[in-house]
A and B are shown apart, each in its own frame.
Chain A
Amino acid sequence: MFGRYTINIDTDLPGLLGGKGAGLFMMRQMGLPVPPAFVITVPSYHAFMQNGHSFLEGDLLDEIKDRIKELETTSQKRYGDPQNALLLSIRSGAPVSMPGMMDTVLNVGMNDEIREALAIASGDDDFAFQCHCRLLKMLGISMFGINKKKFEIDQEGMSLENVVCIYKQVVSEAAAKTKYPNVVDNVWEQLLCCIEGVLCSWHNHRAKHYRRIFQIPDSIGTAAIVQSMVFGNISKDSGTGVVFSRCPATGDRKVTGEYLMRCQGEDVVGGEAACKPIAMLEQDAPIVYRELLRVCRLLEYVYRDIQDVEFTFERGKLYILQTRSAKRCPQAMLKFLASAVSEQLISEQEAYRRGNLLRKSAIERCYVRERVVASDENCQIVGYGDVACPGIVRGYLAFSSTEVLELLSHGKQAVLLKQYTNPDDIAGIDKAVGMFTSSGGTMSHAAVVCRELGKTCIVNTGISINAKSGFAVCDKEQVIKRGDQITLDGSIGVIWNGNSSIERLPDDPDLIKFADWLLGK
């Protein structure tokens, strides 16, 4: 089923291991540096649910213990041994992407004794206390449903040891009446509690809500990944980050992303810390940087798609924690598909298949790189404003919905000019090719309607309107009159009067060719 470099694409790995588990499995097969892990499979989740959450006392419990022994051998650490403790992360991983909806617990396998030993081994008390605090907080919130405010204590003048004591008390009180009353001190209770909690998080309120909205069947279930922890916050030559194998905004073939020295993954994703651009890693950790670039190329080659890669480096050694297809804008997707065909990464047929999954309107936006040019000397810019909905359109000036309808009845396209974006112009907006206003903002109700209808809209132009007399006075005293030819350049918020033409700007020829091809042009 698996070779070292090739994969049988018929294997439903995500269905068995969940998306995240399948990614780890694949990376391990490719020989990439992945922290040792095992996966509690999706079928095991179903067995767990069918057996009233009690199967952990049966065969699976024995298998989990066997797998922990394997992790101990691979990592040369022992679970629960203060002298050389193996700490674990327990993560959910469904076959379909449900980012952030289910639970994850880090630093599982920690208690007071192990924390003290970890502090000595790392030579860093704060690091050990922070790891312990993080575990207790995640355990409390995710596993026992404790309100996170209970962990938001004023730590001013308080030692980290006291903070840990308070956190322990909060969790112990909640755990006392459950089947894991000693979860704070007993590392095996911790492990089972977290596995059970992560599997059950498939049914938490947010996850169910997410599935209902995006019509993901409840019956799918999830996997759980038990993985050896690596620490990006353990030393000066440690860190963590996220990279994309290509730019997700443009599709350009350049590794982009960010990282933090001496931090854990959540600090990067949380957005609270000031991250460094990935290029700076070349100075901070050159070996890690070069290895990371190589991994990105390899992952993209195997997955044939832009990859979003989470990594940590511990004492100068790189670990890849996760890879998945990157979220990217349609423009970047098209650019990637066009480039991937040129690079012989994917076939034309595959590019065509994937490109066709994009909405037609998204593909058409590839041609947005257009500009308005004056066709004669009478054509000029008469105003500027804020773009509420982009696009370049031409039509004849109308001051009301009725005028729009009248122009239409004569086969003419209309551009509507109003004092402000008034919702009761919806019929006019619907029938006009675009609208512009004197005042009003880009977040008004009518701007919302314009965007929903896909009508170009420029607001806040400052144009003074005299609709009764059929004219308006623009920025430099230029006058525009009812029925004048108007062009709205909603890419930059400019209004033209007179005979204009729309010119396509030079763009990536591969991209345009590919978009033309997809649209059958």
Chain B
Amino acid sequence: MNTLFDQKLSILRLISLEGLIEDNRLINLLSSRALFRDENEIKSNLDILRDEGAVEMVASGYRSLTELGKLNMTESLQKKRKDLLPALKDNIWPRFKELDSDLKKVLTMWQIMPDGSLNVHEDHEYDFEVIERLLSIHDRLCDLFNDDYRMECEFNGLLTYLSDAISAIDEGQLEFIVGTSVNSYHNLWRELHEDLLCTLGIAREEQ
């Protein structure tokens, strides 16, 4: 596997996911992942992507993907996973969609109490029940990808990061559930969701 290729692809994927992103946020989110321990490497890859015309500066401090960047990302993902496409389409995607729907329900439960009020996280019994549901979804997600060794290898990176988020939640770092400033479970899940959409060439509104 070409590491540099994967690093650049991850950068493109994160920019695509966020739409507009400041360098600091991009570096913070990526540098806490195993693949990106070196901030300078991220900056250098960003420069390469800019020079290639895949990334542009659209407002002060904010980067975005160019049309070329979007195309490169989609083509790279699809080329890389050419052999996996049938299994992804027929097996992974329909089951992932079910999980995605369940995850959204659970995260909504995490944020909104059954009476419609915002959850201020003072009811530990309720929160614990929601967390248990989240863990069950994660187990199902792992089963989904681990059922097929090729999928397990291909998505190993994101699955590892998702498991890291689960470990953090398990240790009481509850911002790793839906927090936006860390590699939270929700942020990483969205990344996986976008990755699948992009690989399968599905527009979000069509899913």
Contact = CB atoms under 8 A, between A and B. Distances in A.
Interface string A329-346: 111000000000000000
Given A214-B172, A453-B180, A99 B125 contact: yes
B128 A427 contact: no
Contacts, number: 112
Given A99-B125, A212-B172, A214-B172, A426 B120 contact: no
B152 interface: no
Contacts of A419: 205
A424 B170 contact: no
A505 interface: no
Nearest to B126: A327
A444 interface: yes
A269 B45 CA distance: 57
Interface in B89-117: 104-105, 107-108, 111-113, 115, 117
Contacts of A358: 120
A329 B20 contact: no
Contacts of B179: 452
A362 B117 CA distance: 11
Contacts of A210: 124, 128
Contacts of B19: 401, 422-428
A73 to B, nearest CB: 37
B108 to A, nearest CB: 5
A449 B17 contact: no
A327 B128 contact: no
Contacts of A422: 19, 204
B122 interface: yes
Given A401-B20, A409-B60, A213 B180 contact: no
B115 A249 contact: yes
A247 to B, nearest CB: 12
A337 to B, nearest CB: 14
A419 B204 CA distance: 12
A329 B122 CA distance: 8
A448 B170 contact: no
Interface string A434-447: 00000000111101
A89 B62 CA distance: 64
Contacts of B21: 427
A406 interface: yes
A390 interface: yes
B205 A420 contact: yes
Interface in A50-90: none
A213 B128 contact: yes
A390 B193 contact: no
B145 to A, nearest CB: 20
Contacts of A365: 118
A11 interface: no
A306 to B, nearest CB: 13
Chief secondary structure at chain A's binding surface = helix
Interface residues of A, number: 46
A430 interface: yes
Nearest to B193: A445
A213 B173 CA distance: 8
A215 interface: yes
Nearest to A420: B205
Interface centre among A329, A359, A406, A453 (most CB of B within 10 A): A329
B59 A423 contact: no
Contacts of B18: 424, 426-427
Interface string B141-182: 000000000000000000000000000011110100011100
B58 interface: yes
Interface centre among A97, A331, A427, A451 (most CB of B within 10 A): A427
A444 B193 CA distance: 12
B194 interface: yes
B169 A213 contact: yes
Given A405-B59, A409-B60, A451-B112, A327 B171 contact: no
Interface centre among A390, A423, A425 (most CB of B within 10 A): A423
B20 A451 contact: no
A242 B143 CA distance: 41
Contact of B104 (A249, A427, A443): A443
B170 A213 contact: yes
B37 to A, nearest CB: 25
Given A213-B131, A427-B20, A327 B122 contact: yes
A423 B118 contact: no
A214 B111 contact: no
A100 interface: yes
A209 interface: yes
B190 interface: yes
Given A209-B170, A426-B18, A443-B104, A451 B180 contact: no
B51 interface: no
Interface string B188-203: 0110011000000000
A402 interface: yes
A444 B108 CA distance: 9
Given A100-B125, A213-B128, A445 B170 contact: no
Interface centre among A358, A426, A430, A452 (most CB of B within 10 A): A452
Contacts of B117: 329, 331
12 contacts: A100-B125, A329-B120, A358-B120, A401-B19, A409-B60, A423-B19, A423-B190, A426-B18, A427-B20, A443-B108, A451-B118, A452-B180
Please list the 6 inter-chain residue pairs (A to B) with the smallest Cβ-Cβ separation, ordered nearest first.
A424-B19, A427-B20, A405-B59, A99-B125, A451-B111, A443-B104
